[in-house]
Amino acid sequence: MRNKLLQQRPLLTFPQILILAAILVALFAALNLNRRAQAGRLVGAGEAALQAELDLEVTRQVELQATLAYVQSNDYVAAYARDEGGYLLPGEKRIVPLTIEITPEPTSLPPPTPDPLNHARPWQAWWRLLTDAPQPTR
């Protein structure tokens, strides 16, 4: 009997150990792939926002280049001299519109509407509440 106790069956057989090792390797590979996929998504997450910012800056650059070209032109110098500097070309006349400010007159207030409560009698209010009929004439 003692011999039988010593020859107990092993906890795991060789094929079971191989299957368990294959499962562990597959699990490790799946976790590694998941980690890499998540890192790849994080890399591309800011790409759309960065592309939008780049497009905005390219548009701004084009606007600034157009403004620079206009500021360096003779048309800008002439417009600035006429509008801001007050210079005129020979034969031109300056026309300055004059504005006349009139102070508005205060409007008269209409007379206040007479308050019906000043002329009402207590029985008239009770008559209206109880009957919903027009008040009798005197």
Q: What does pTM read for this prediction?
A: 0.37
Is residue 6 pLDDT above 70, yes or no?
Answer: no
**pLDDT, tens digit (0-9, with 9 covering 90-100), for 12-70:** 889 999 999 999 999 999 999 999 988 888 777 778 888 899 999 999 999 999 999 99
* Model pLDDT, residue 113: 84
CB atoms within 10 A of CB 127: 15
What would the pLDDT profile of 102-124 be if each residue is shown by its tens digit? 888 888 888 888 877 677 777 77
